[in-house]
């Protein structure tokens, strides 16, 4: 599913974020930027430990912030590490929204045209797909309502429950 809002196309994609050929993929990170399980683990396995080394060298960062690294062996150019949780590995809609907003700002600083997000905070973070979709889409729509270098925002979602939650929220716009 895709929807055009202004000059930007928002796409919902069911599949592996590490395979996307975009300017940047977003890693759902903790504020120490260690890459263990879930999306972070997949990015590290497929892209190489260099990604984690570059991220950890910039941390720890405040929860809600985001940092940019190279993408190692991944098809993307960059990885943006969005700190949606702390060491307790719990999150909420506000933290997810802030880390989404700051990921978009990092993309803007590099004048990137495409970015792909996972459903931040829905794995170990414990956030529901609906809460996540509402928080992330609100941050994206707020960002793209202003002048932006982005023309494509992808949500790479794992499983039909995540996809349906994001689809329902995207239909509100």
**Mean pLDDT, residues 128-139:** 98
- 26: three-class secondary structure by DSSP: strand
Give tens-digit pLDDT for 62-82.
999 999 999 999 999 999 999
Where in the sequence is the domain holding 38, given as residue range(s)? Answer: 2-170
Name the pTM for this structure: 0.96
Cα-to-chain-centroid distance, residue 143: 14
**Mean pLDDT, residues 46-55:** 98
**Mean pLDDT, residues 99-125:** 96
Number of domain units in the chain: 1
Question: For residue 48, is it left (φ>0), alpha (ψ between -120 and 50) or beta?
Answer: left
Give tens-digit pLDDT for 2-47.
999 999 999 999 999 999 999 999 999 999 999 988 899 999 999 9
Given pLDDT bands bounded at 50, 70 and 90, which one contains residue 124? confident
Indicate whether 164 pLDDT > 90. yes
State the CATH number of the domain containing residue 111: 3.40.220.10
């Amino acid at each position: 599913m895709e929807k055009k809002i202004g000059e930007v196309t928002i796409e919902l994609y069911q599949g592996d974020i590490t395979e996307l050929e975009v300017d940047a993929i977003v890693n759902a990170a903790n504020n120490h930027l260690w890459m263990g399980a879930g999306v972070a683990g997949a990015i590290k396995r497929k892209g190489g430990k260099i990604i984690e080394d570059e991220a950890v060298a910039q941390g720890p960062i405040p929860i809600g912030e985001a940092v940019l690294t190279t993408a190692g062996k991944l098809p993307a150019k960059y990885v943006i590490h969005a700190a949606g949780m702390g060491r307790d590995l719990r999150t909420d809609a506000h933290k997810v929204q802030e880390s989404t907003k700051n990921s978009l700002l990092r993309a803007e600083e590099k004048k990137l045209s495409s970015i792909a997000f996972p459903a931040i905070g829905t794995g170990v973070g414990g956030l529901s797909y609906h809460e996540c979709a509402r928080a992330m889409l609100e941050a994206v729509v707020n960002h793209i309502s202003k002048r932006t270098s982005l023309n494509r925002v992808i949500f790479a979602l794992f499983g039909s429950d995540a996809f349906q939650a994001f689809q329902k929220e995207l239909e509100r716009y």
